[in-house]
Structure 1
Amino acid sequence: MISTVLTWAVQRRLASIEHIRQHPHEVQEQVFRSLVHTARHTAWGRQYGYADAPSAREFAQRVPVSSYEQLYPQLERVLRGEADVLWPGRVEWFAKSSGTTNARSKYIPITREALHDCHYRAGRDMTALATLYYPQTDILGGKTLSLGGTHGPNPFRPTDAASRVGDVSAVIMQNLPAWAEYVRTPPLELALLDEWEEKIERIARHVLEADVRVLAGVPTWMIVLLRRVLELAGTTSILEVWPQLGLFLHGAVAFGPYRELFRQLIPGPQMHYLEVYNASEGYLALQDEPDSEDLLLLLNHGIYYEFVPADQWEAAEPRALSLAEVSLGCTYSLLISTNAGLWRYAIGDTVRFTSLAPYRIRIVGRTKHFLNAFGEEVVVENADAAIAAACQATGTTVRDYTAAPIYFAAHNGASRGGHQWLIEFTEPPASLDQFTAVLDATLRQLNSDYDAKRHRNLALMPPQVTAVPTGTFVAWLARRGKLGGQHKVPRLSNSREMMEELLEQLNN
């Protein structure tokens, strides 16, 4: 009965999802008006004339595009407890951003509106779609195993017990409504443990006897937990532990490189996979069709979107496009204005539209996470697809990888470079040369700039691939205090800093 009532309640969100699909521009206009009106009496709103009810065009002319560093003076005031700076009221919760493994943490405000009207509303949307598409799983009749991070005191207000910072997953779990907490496992005292190895061990033992129907989390860390569950259960299939398991809600990293690993751990046709795009800054998109990997942009969840074309990324005052102005197939960086008080904020992610009716996207990468040392413009989407193709060709799977440029001395008057890849395989391929060749060939097929640079090795030499021992990347994350939660290894970088750290670790 509880499952039936909960299913009926969440499926009421289906009409709202359809409204997003059918009336995107009207919905975004309403969100824009609501955001500006609500923030008109804040310090930021007064500075930029929000009380004048500016149009979207006037808003773009008045309000600067802001990176985290540029917005930080206002964010620090919010962190220290000042009210009415970027959004009405005083903010108590902050997501400590783990979108990268940079030493400097980012603290993203999580207002009550952001929590309830963005994250939780989108969570209900995803649950509604899952119950619609997979009724046989009866996902609300059992438990959702969610694996997240932890939270702790706000370092800017160490004596204020009410103010906390942590992974967005931990903030969400700590504040879940009662019905959502009822269908979730493990209990908070385990889910929010900060010591990662202890957390995995205790959660694995706790959930052995649970009726788990859904998994939710980052693929990288979910695999670690599932393997420990299998060890404790003494079996090779998760379905022998949780026979009703039927769905994995995944996000934070591209799923392609992990798909085969999950098929091995959870064999059988009953298992389904849906992607979510839930960042520290907001829940932006979700997979609304089971047979497509495209993500529906969520337009009525307290976020107003703008899109910066690639040729404007380095501009001092980048020109942004509205939703109505975007084109298919182009790559854009995202600007968001949100009900957490982020205004024309450059989130750092890049997307490509695959549909304009409705508006669906694919996450391409990040503005700072691509390889372009030689004009090759390799983005994470290219790299993930090439890794997947090489795995299929050589019968292996990859746990993690990273790549960075190699610079060579001038040769015959032309400067030639290359890419160095460190890859952690589950089992090394029989032929690393074949893996490398397929990786290279697939990148050339997917990316004309890379192909042009690779022509006759004139600008780019063939990639240099090194298989690294199991645990290499986990050890690197551990050294930086980044184990668990949404922390992940940067796939691509134009800097060799991380590459050199890993090589030094391997040599010691």
Structure 2
Amino acid sequence: MGLKASLSRPFAALVVKGINKWKKNAVKAQQDTLLKIVGAAKNTAFGKDHKFASIKSYADFKRLVPVKDYEELRPYIDRVVAGERNVMWKGKPQYFAKTSGTTSGIKYIPISKESMPEHIKAARNALLTYVHETGNVDFIDGKMIFLQGSPVMSKKNGINVGRLSGIVANLVPAYLQKNRLPSYATNCIEDWEEKVDAIVEETIHENMTLISGIPPWVQMYFDRLTEKSGGKKIKDIFPEFKLFVYGGVNFEPYRAKIEQSIGRKIDAIETYPASEGFIAYQDEQDNKGLLLLAKAGIFYEFIPADEFYNDHPTRLSLGEVELDTNYVLVLNTNAGLWGYVIGDTVKFVSKDPYRIVVTGRIKHFISAFGEHVIGEEVEHALLSVANEEGVGITEFTVAPQVNPAAAELPYHEWFVEFSTPPADMASFSKKVDEALQKKNIYYFDLIEGKILQPLVIRSLQKDAFVNYMKAQGKLGGQNKVPRLANDRKIADDLSGFIIVAQTKNRGDFN
């Protein structure tokens, strides 16, 4: 055992002791965080405009600070981007995380000198919490790979600009630099397929012990490794591979294929990082809930998802939430985002401590007929049936078909790339539809009332989603395929990848 591995256990115990203190007092930690960040920003332009100096409680804050999305905050953000000081947070940001919004085009998310360390600390603590729970330190002495965006940054009015993963790549602690792969030169390759091939060349003969990234792009890396090695499983290429760290999407749709590629089950840690802040991570191997980071420079608010589009939706602090309720997540951060709707929906699975699961995106739903089907529901419906029947799913997305062929009722159209297709597509489609009806009473009523016909599954060619993302210029990095859309844009683009025409409402092959 190396020095770093041997020191990690006592260090992990010390860190977890500190985490446990705020875990037991998360509501108090949140109250303190609100007053601290409001106090720090009271002399900024935003703080003066919203009377931060008079805020003494969450009730004051709600009354004075409205909930806004990026576009609504843009007048302030544009001033920050232009180089103005003391607009939303004291001074200027240390970085801008550059992201692509569905409605806002390029977005520039400020990262301050106060918020950046919280990103790094949370990533570190996710690993140390795992070390403390399991005692597994073997991965620390091996090579670690983080599949991420390019670390090359540009400048905007004197401020470094890059993708969050690229910014973080420049800040990896010195004690991990010798263990980290790929090389800086390879990490800078912009073309994702070229980059993955270069990463394979650099890593295939290394002692890889930790692999991290967004599941679909990790799967691409695994596929290329298997191809390069002549068909070997990942466990045979990397016998000491101990830990998989992931985030960005729900792992369940990818779990079966990734474990098949590896050749065995492996410990995994789910994380919930965002450009706006590191929000949560999995702190127990047998618990799928993610520990909400209540003391990390972020004050969280929660709006019941079914009220979000009301004129005056309910806003709740951490101490007011309930279990098993879908909430829109709102952030207030020590980088100067206030009442900021990040777009994600979450559900609490525990309040002692506060743990969440990410259920989807508030703008990614289907409600063409009032059903408001969300990501959590379609994932459960498809995967529960697929797991029962030994069906393998590579990727999928769902869209409404509101203008079907003559004499047909509208329906939900599912575009699915199978790694192991169903033996009987009609039976499989019927079971998935029934599973969705059980999860969503509105969808059930629409099917029962003959407003909708049962869903239709379109089976897609191998690599359909990879080729779609490539065509969109979004292959790799932090990019993800939306599970749901309330329009036909993605569906129409994927129609060219359908394997064979299918009939009516049961996904039957012609």
Please say if 1:464 is aligned against 2:464: no
Check conservation: 2:130, 2:284, Cα contact below 8 A: no
Rounded to whole Å, the distance in 1 between the matches of 2:219 and 2:103 is: 24
Check conservation: 1:393, 1:438, Cα contact below 8 A: no
Runs (5+) with no aligned partner, structure 1: none
Please say if 1:484 is aligned against 2:476: yes
2:61 aligned partner? 59
Check conservation: 2:42, 2:53, Cα contact below 8 A: yes
Rounded to whole Å, the distance in 1 between the matches of 2:404 and 2:196 is: 47
Q: How does 1:289-438 map to 2 (within 5 A)?
A: 289-408=284-403, 416-438=409-431
1:168-187 per-residue CA deviation (whole Å, 9 max, x = no partner) reads: 11111122221243432212
Query: SS at the partner of 2:7?
Result: helix
Q: Where does structure 1 differ by over 6 angstroms across 4 or more consecutive aligned residues?
A: 409-412
Q: 1:236 aligned to 232, 239, 242, which one?
A: 232
Check conservation: 2:8, 2:131, Cα contact below 8 A: no
Please say if 1:194 is aligned against 2:195: no
Please say if 1:107 is aligned against 2:108: yes
Check conservation: 1:101, 1:482, Cα contact below 8 A: no
**Shift in CA distance, 325/416, structure 1 to aligned 2, threshold 3 Å:** farther
Please say if 1:181 is aligned against 2:177: yes
1:451 aligned partner? 444
1:128 aligned partner? 128
Rounded to whole Å, the distance in 1 between the matches of 2:334 and 2:177 is: 24
Please say if 1:220 is aligned against 2:216: yes
Check conservation: 1:109, 1:340, Cα contact below 8 A: yes
**Shift in CA distance, 102/433, structure 1 to aligned 2, threshold 3 Å:** farther
1:468-502 per-residue CA deviation (whole Å, 9 max, x = no partner) reads: 11222222222222111110111101111221232
Measure how far apart 1:322 and its partner are: 1.1
Q: Which moved more, 1:148-157 or 1:415-424?
A: 148-157
Please say if 1:497 is aligned against 2:489: yes
1:279 aligned partner? 274
The one-letter amino acid paired with 2:17 is A
Task: Count the aligned residue pairs.
Answer: 497
The one-letter amino acid paired with 1:26 is K
1:141 aligned partner? 141
Rounded to whole Å, the distance in 2 between the matches of 1:399 and 1:86 is: 42
Measure how far apart 1:419 and its partner are: 0.2
Rounded to whole Å, the distance in 2 between the matches of 1:95 and 1:317 is: 31
Query: SS at the partner of 2:114?
Result: helix
1:221-253 per-residue CA deviation (whole Å, 9 max, x = no partner) reads: 000001111222224311111111121111111
1:7-53 per-residue CA deviation (whole Å, 9 max, x = no partner) reads: 43344220122123210111111111111111122111121122334
Query: SS at the partner of 2:336?
Result: coil
Check conservation: 1:101, 1:488, Cα contact below 8 A: no
Measure how far apart 1:503 and its partner are: 2.3
**Shift in CA distance, 234/38, structure 1 to aligned 2, threshold 3 Å:** same
Measure how far apart 1:154 and its partner are: 4.6
Runs (5+) with no aligned partner, structure 2: 500-510
Measure how far apart 1:92 and its partner are: 4.0
Please say if 1:163 is aligned against 2:156: no
CA RMSD of aligned residues (A): 2.2
Check conservation: 1:137, 1:213, Cα contact below 8 A: no
1:38 aligned partner? 40
Query: SS at the partner of 1:426?
Result: strand
Check conservation: 1:24, 1:299, Cα contact below 8 A: yes
Q: Which moved more, 1:473-482 or 1:303-312?
A: 473-482
Check conservation: 1:131, 1:138, Cα contact below 8 A: no
The one-letter amino acid paired with 1:448 is I
Percent of paired sites with the same residue: 34
Check conservation: 1:394, 1:431, Cα contact below 8 A: no
**Shift in CA distance, 27/485, structure 1 to aligned 2, threshold 3 Å:** same
Rounded to whole Å, the distance in 1 between the matches of 2:9 and 2:92 is: 35
**Shift in CA distance, 236/448, structure 1 to aligned 2, threshold 3 Å:** farther
Rounded to whole Å, the distance in 2 between the matches of 1:328 and 1:191 is: 41
1:5 aligned partner? 7
1:133-155 per-residue CA deviation (whole Å, 9 max, x = no partner) reads: 33345221212211011255557
Rounded to whole Å, the distance in 2 between the matches of 1:32 and 1:359 is: 17
**Shift in CA distance, 254/352, structure 1 to aligned 2, threshold 3 Å:** same
Measure how far apart 1:317 and its partner are: 4.0
2:502 aligned partner? none
Rounded to whole Å, the distance in 1 between the matches of 2:260 and 2:50 is: 54
Measure how far apart 1:97 and its partner are: 2.3
Rounded to whole Å, the distance in 2 between the matches of 1:216 and 1:92 is: 25
The one-letter amino acid paired with 1:131 is V
Check conservation: 2:215, 2:246, Cα contact below 8 A: yes
Q: Which moved more, 1:358-367 or 1:85-94?
A: 85-94
**Structure number with higher relative contact order (C-alpha < 8 Å, ≥ 6 residues apart):** 1
Query: SS at the partner of 1:442?
Result: helix
Measure how far apart 1:505 and its partner are: 6.9
Rounded to whole Å, the distance in 2 between the matches of 1:206 and 1:11 is: 34
TM-score by length of 1: 0.92
Q: Which moved more, 1:43-52 or 1:487-496?
A: 43-52
